[in-house]
Amino acid sequence: MCECCGGESAVRMVLLGAPGAGKGTQASAMQQRWGLVHVASGDLLRDNVKNDTELGRKAKPYMEAGELVPDDLILDMMEERLARPDAQSGFVLDGFPRTLAQAEALDARLETMGQRLDAVIYLRVSEEEILRRLSGRLICPQCHAVYHADTMPPKRPGVCDRCGTALVQRSDEDPEVVRKRLQVYEEQTAPLVEYYRSRGLLHEVDGAIGVDRVLAKIASILEAAAKRVGAREPQ
């Protein structure tokens, strides 16, 4: 059960936001503080390939060729992950869905599982702030921990606190590349935002007010969502 909601109900949610908006940071904080399972689409793909699962073997050729993995494959991975026992206490999806077609397909998959989304948090951050964040971001290639040279540096420069691996900066976080990524994101996500808004699930949060304040706002949203979930669950 979601501890932020007094243990009343499992809450199932999606985090939306541009690259660098803080989705991974907030999802990890929710996992650590409230026990919500953090499902990041990129990590899910890499884990399936690393573990040589049937789905991972199907996805590997696309990833090695630098092509997009088909939606059906990602959805199959999502469905398998969300069916595990730990996800029954609530989950937060990070990086998926990214398009309207994916959102509609996700809803259909969840319905077959007897589940539904309870909240969608949209982290709004300006382009200038995202460029500042990504220019200093460091990532562990082994455990995927994220740091920032200015705001969240590792204890030892250039080394992951968790596993001791040398940190790297992603090649796609060059300022010009980031601007192009943001343009693509806005084009893909605008219909997605309106889709969730029309369903009464969307909650916009200023992602630039600091990690703790953002988390506090999300907690109040989840608490209200959990009450709605409890109200519709059979007694």
Hey, how many other C-beta atoms are within 10 angstroms of the C-beta on 114? 6
Between 128 and 225, the higher pLDDT residue: 128
- Range of the structural domain that residue 46 is part of: 3-227
Q: In the block, which residue shows the tokens 């939606």?
A: 71
User: Is 234 a member of any domain?
Assistant: no
Tell me if residue 137 is catalytic: yes
* 78-99 residue pLDDT tens: 999 999 999 998 999 998 998 9
Q: What local confidence, expressed as pLDDT, does residue 50 receive?
A: 93
Tell me if residue 181 is catalytic: yes
Tell me if residue 170 is catalytic: yes
Tell me the average pLDDT across 142-161. Answer: 90
Number of domains in the chain: 1
Q: List the strands of the sheet with 202-206, edge to edge.
A: 37-40, 91-94, 12-17, 119-124, 202-206
* 96-139 residue pLDDT tens: 998 999 999 999 999 999 999 999 999 999 988 888 887 788 89
* 180-222 residue pLDDT tens: 888 888 888 888 999 999 999 999 999 999 889 999 999 999 8
Q: What local confidence, expressed as pLDDT, does residue 229 receive?
A: 61
Q: How many residues does the chain have?
A: 235
52 phi/psi in degrees, rounded to 5? 55, 45
- Cα 62 from chain centroid? 21
* 31-69 residue pLDDT tens: 988 899 999 998 999 999 999 999 999 999 998 888 889
Q: Is the pTM higher than 0.85?
A: no
β-bridge partners, 12: 91
User: Is 198 a member of any domain?
Assistant: yes
User: Is 235 a member of any domain?
Assistant: no
* Helix (H), strand (E), coil (C) string for the chain: CCHHHCCCCCCEEEEEECCCCCHHHHHHHHHHHHCCEEEEHHHHHHHHHHCCCHHHHHHHHHHHCCCCCCHHHHHHHHHHHHCCHHHHHCEEEECCCCCHHHHHHHHHHHHHCCCCCCEEEEEECCHHHHHHHHHCEEECCCCCCEEECCCECCCECCECCCCCCECECCHHHCHHHHHHHHHHHHHHHHHHHHHHHHCCCEEEEECCCCHHHHHHHHHHHHHHHHHHHHHHCCC
Residue 228 to residue 22: CA distance in whole angstroms: 26
**Residue 235 pLDDT greater than 50, yes or no:** no
* CATH number of the domain to which 78 belongs: 3.40.50.300
Which is catalytic among the residues 58, 109, 170, 217? Answer: 170
User: Is 232 a member of any domain?
Assistant: no
User: Is 233 a member of any domain?
Assistant: no
Q: What local confidence, expressed as pLDDT, does residue 111 receive?
A: 96
